[in-house]
Amino acid sequence: MKRVSLTFRLSMMFVCAVVAVLVLAGFTFDAFSRHHFKALDRQAMTEKLESIRQIMDGEAGSVGSSEVVLQLQALLGAHQELSASITTKGGKTIFATPNAVGHPPTYSGDPEKDVWEWTAGGHTYRGMQAQVHLVSDTEALTAWLSLDITSHMHFFETLRWWLVIGLAISALVSAALGWLVARSGLKPVAQVTKVAASMSAGSLKERIPFDSVPRELESLVSSFNAMLARLEESFVRLSNFSADIAHELRTPISNLRTHTEVILSKKRAPDTYEENLYSNLEDLNRLSSIIDGMLFLAKSDNGLVLPAKEKIELRSAVEKLFEYYQLLADDTGVKLQVSGHGTVYGDRTMLDRMISNLLSNALRYTPHNSTISVRIEPDGNMINLSVENPGEEIAVQHLPRLFDRFYRVDPARREGATNNAGLGLAIVKSLVDVHDGTVGCVSKEGYTTFMISLPAKDC
């Protein structure tokens, strides 16, 4: 099924709104017109009935006397559409104009109904009745006034047809105008669509200008530009990541190929082959480490890393890792110390790897005969763990990218040392993220501190 365009929808909405307004206006005009004519008829008949009452009440003779008849004919004779009759209580007509039409067929003598409407002989009438009597006569008489409103009804029928025709013409004109207005109003959307369709990997720097964008589309354009900025940033990171992978894998593979070519260039002693195999094993281990780290990060990005939830006392976990790193620390005279206590819920293996990566990173950049401090501090529903080491400060522009994959502060080490592939801090961030925590770094006054915040309760 073909989808309806937004221009067509807006046009139809505009037409429906116009038609609804016109229909409401037409019904309102028709109702007010009918009410106005009815009010005029009621007023005219009320005045005539009052005049009849005054004539009748002021005479002492009978209603059929010549003077009374003359006065009634003079009062009612000038209106061809107006007829009158006077009847007794028993229904006997004692006076009537030549064009009198009688009572309505549904007349029940209800005094609370002041105006009656009925149809007779192809004509429509509107009538009123009132009680009158002569001064000398105690019997109440009923005076009936009837007004022929057939011409009024014809006027309303004609008016209704003109309203229907006007409504149809207005709907067609409104549809055309609505289409033009919608098409003109949606031009900024077409511009946004054009820019979006022209986007490619090489044009992610382009942005939609706000100059000609209406206020209603500013949030849409702003969100679209923000999306382009995120895509550009992600694409740049992906490009850098691809280049970094090539750099990291090139060195060990180049070493393996060079060593193998040299060894195979001529016959050598078994000890030489064994030495080359040990050298190749180091490069293979590095390749394996890089691949394992990349696989772990890929799983983390796709939500495939699901940590276990167990209660872990951080101080005891840190002290166990100190035992492992103590030999490396003793070689450089570095002291390891921990302070504070805190309990978190998480995966023990992942937490050990997280803290281990931070400790190995600190040992790598801590000067000889210095101290690495690990502090554990509760903070509401979170537990903060910080690893602080003295050493050269990290420039502010590098701090936001420390946790990017293969990123190194020192450009001279892009090819990397043998045991440092640049994935350690990226793995730390992934491990913290799967534990619903946060990680950050501060480097100032000769100290660099990595801070991890983990939930103190099982979420």
Ranked by mean pLDDT, the top range of 59-73, 124-138, 169-183 is: 169-183
Ranked by mean pLDDT, the top range of 57-66, 158-167, 238-247 is: 158-167
Ranked by mean pLDDT, the top range of 63-67, 115-119, 166-170, 297-301 is: 166-170
- Is residue 395 included in any domain, yes or no? yes
Which comes out higher in pLDDT, residue 290 or 392? 392
Which comes out higher in pLDDT, residue 178 or 234? 178
3-class secondary structure, 69: helix
Q: In this structure, are 322 and 281 located in the same domain? A: no
Check pLDDT > 80 for residue 247.
no
Spatial distance between the Cα atoms of 16 and 14, rounded to a whole number of angstroms: 5
In percent, how much of the chain has pLDDT > 70? Answer: 81
Task: Note down the domain range covering 164.
Answer: 6-172
Which comes out higher in pLDDT, residue 396 or 113? 396
Q: In this structure, are 361 and 271 located in the same domain? A: no
Check pLDDT > 70 for residue 302.
no
Which comes out higher in pLDDT, residue 109 or 7? 7
pLDDT of residue 384: 92
- Is residue 201 included in any domain, yes or no? no
Last residue in a domain, options 301, 329, 356: 301
- Is residue 161 included in any domain, yes or no? yes
Check pLDDT > 70 for residue 454.
yes
Q: In this structure, are 331 and 360 located in the same domain? A: yes
Q: In this structure, are 157 and 251 located in the same domain? A: no
The average pLDDT across 248-274 equals 78
Ranked by mean pLDDT, the top range of 100-109, 283-292, 380-389 is: 380-389
Check pLDDT > 60 for residue 124.
yes
Q: In this structure, are 151 and 49 located in the same domain? A: yes
pLDDT of residue 390: 92
Q: In this structure, are 149 and 273 located in the same domain? A: no
Q: In this structure, are 296 and 335 located in the same domain? A: no
CB 23 within 8 A of CB 15: no
The average pLDDT across 87-93 equals 75
Q: In this structure, are 337 and 259 located in the same domain? A: no
The average pLDDT across 210-229 equals 78
Q: In this structure, are 449 and 358 located in the same domain? A: yes
Indicate the number of domains in the chain.
3
pLDDT of residue 277: 81
pLDDT of residue 416: 42
pLDDT of residue 423: 75
Tokens (6 digits) for 214: 């209406």
Question: Facing residues of 375 across strands?
Answer: 339, 386
When pLDDT is cut at 50, 70 and 90, the band that residue 171 belongs to is: confident
Last residue in a domain, options 272, 301, 330: 301
Sequence-separated (6 or more) residues with CB below 8 Å from residue 142:
86, 87, 88, 89, 129, 130, 131, 132
- Is residue 404 included in any domain, yes or no? yes
Supply the CATH number for residue 415's domain: 3.30.565.10
Q: In this structure, are 320 and 418 located in the same domain? A: yes
CB 354 within 8 A of CB 432: yes
SS (HEC) of 153-203: HHHHHHHHHHHHHHHHHHHHHHHHHHHHHHHHHCHHHHHHHHHHHCCCCCC
Q: In this structure, are 331 and 285 located in the same domain? A: no
When pLDDT is cut at 50, 70 and 90, the band that residue 451 belongs to is: very high
- Is residue 197 included in any domain, yes or no? no
Ranked by mean pLDDT, the top range of 28-42, 82-96, 121-135 is: 28-42
- Is residue 189 included in any domain, yes or no? no
Size of the chain, expressed as the number of residues it contains: 459
The average pLDDT across 50-59 equals 72
The average pLDDT across 127-133 equals 80
Which comes out higher in pLDDT, residue 312 or 411? 312
pTM score, two decimals?
Answer: 0.48
For 381-435, the DSSP string reads: TEEEEEEEEESSPPPGGGGGGTTSTT--S-GGGTT--TT--S-HHHHHHHHHHHT
The average pLDDT across 426-430 equals 85
pLDDT of residue 61: 44
Last residue in a domain, options 116, 143, 172: 172
pLDDT digits (tens, 9 = 90+) for 343-394: 888 888 888 888 988 998 898 889 998 999 999 999 888 899 999 999 888 8
Mean pLDDT score across all residues of the chain: 79
Question: Facing residues of 186 across strands?
Answer: none
pLDDT of residue 54: 77
Q: In this structure, are 253 and 394 located in the same domain? A: no
CB 353 within 8 A of CB 300: no
Of 40, 37, 52, 44, the C-alpha closest to 130 is: 52
- Is residue 93 included in any domain, yes or no? yes
When pLDDT is cut at 50, 70 and 90, the band that residue 331 belongs to is: confident
Supply the CATH number for residue 115's domain: 3.30.450
The average pLDDT across 423-443 equals 86
- Is residue 164 included in any domain, yes or no? yes
Supply the CATH number for residue 254's domain: 1.10.287.130
Check pLDDT > 50 for residue 417.
no
The average pLDDT across 114-132 equals 81
When pLDDT is cut at 50, 70 and 90, the band that residue 60 belongs to is: very low
